[in-house]
Structure 1
Amino acid sequence: MYVALASTKFQPIIGSSTTFKDVMGVDEAKAELEEITQYLRDPVANASDHSYSNTGKGLFSLPFTCLGGRLPKGVLLVGPPGTGKTMLARAIAGEAGVPFFLTSGSEFEEMLVGVGAKRMRDLFSTAKKHSLWIIFIDEIDSFGGKRSHIDASYTRMTLNQLLVEMDGIVVIAATNFLESLDKSLVRPGCFDRIVVVPSPDVEGRRQILESYLSKILLADDVDVTILARGTTGLSGADLANLVNIAAVKAANDGAKAVSMVDLEHAKDKILMGVERKSSVISAKSRRLAALHEGAMH
């Protein structure tokens, strides 16, 4: 019996409004991606500045190759969840003003042999019909994990197809687990530029908090610097959630604005969990505990 498989139609995202100004706390990562953005923004003008012509061969016609070097075929964004990897990919397209394809590694995972590889071919064949488009593959570790001879053949075929297709198109991928990827993906000539997108530092957290806090009503006692210092380790997504929790709490309490108390409560809730009011020790229990400890000494 034959089963008809519905083909996946990859639709480009046109007119991304996200720019590098919207991505805060990852200045080093933005600097790493700037050269790709410069080329995508105006490849013909950049090429003419160095007496190069736009040959239509994608990355190999870059003006940055005038001294013999070349830009990477693929860029791999690595970092914890919620640090802005997908937002960075959207910002590249927004800065350059070009469409891009946004996909997930799970879209190529199929138990049937050959389906994932076919979808990979369809994605690149659609992208190659248009010059200078970006392909962004989120969670590439879904099919790009380390291979062995006992792996299912459908996983190996999808990864092999990606390695074959990567040529002349800006391919950006993201993962939370660099150590789990197959060596063929991170070798020179494939995803040969690894950009680390870490959790923001104190200045980055301050900028992110200011961005989210500007969208809500704040009381006069809110100090963003103090709040940023007390949120060590939180990602941009965590900070957005913190502001939202504080705004909801203030609204439930009937407040006219979000105060520092609301923000501190939201911070403690994220870092330590919900307050356990039922675990409050009574005065009698505290006295008995003190007597017991005193008797022990």
Structure 2
Amino acid sequence: MQFSTLLCNTIFWALVGIATCTEEERLQGEENWNFTNLVVFGDSLSDSGNLASFLRPQIPDFPDRASNGKVAVEYLAKKLHIELKPSFYLTSFDPSGTNYAVTGARCIPVDEPQVDEFENPASRIPFQVNTYLSSVSDSEGVSHADPDALYIVYGGGNDILDAYRMVKAGASADDVSNHLHRAAASCADSARALIDAGARYIIQVGAPNVGDTPRITLTGEKSLEDFAKALTLTFNIAMDIEMLHVEDDTGIDVVTVDTFTLIQTALSKGLQANEPCIISPFLSGIPEANPLIAPGAVP
């Protein structure tokens, strides 16, 4: 929940760059924002109930979120005075719900083979975006994204974790690098598809350092933490390059949020490394934990 608040505030001020123009308007902040809606695509860091709706028939007490509180986009929606609800597109689609994020979502194209056997390709961000675009299509199949809505594309952590799995399984360095670059390109293509359909305001949130997550830190091996960090940087750099291409091709400025640096700063200044909220994965059974990093895979 601490991370969610940090990220929300970071995105909140990043909005000033796309929603205001003059210095006076910048100082006025949210009073100048008039987004008609908030549409979210992502993974566990944004999921507010989509995976739960899918799993609850088998696991009745499965929680709505991979967090002990609201996720960042919910705080952001509150600041923007917008109601944000899950779309439940994996089960019974609710067109009034505009949060498509699903815990475990990847950026890779839907037709890519699974690295993790438990992954559901229907949760992938390209699938989320396609589902949204289908919901705003006319009778001829042409999608019309709301030009005055704010769109958030936030993923990559699970793709990085898959790259880590590939390395452990003996994949070559080239195969791992290509996987990360395909994931970054696919995520950028999702943003491009939104823009092509009429979206004007898009925020792309970079992946946090997977090397800081409990799944990696609990191994106690510094070399693994450093390697996971290198994979994260590879993905984020590739994403930055791909998003620049999107901006050049479409003329739309995509706002990027650097969660890698945000998390590093929070860990170095705001919290002690031995606190339960830093060392224990989500659903670890530690009731006193107030996680900065909740899910085992991504912060």
**TM-score normalised according to structure 1 size:** 0.35
The structure with the larger Rg is 1
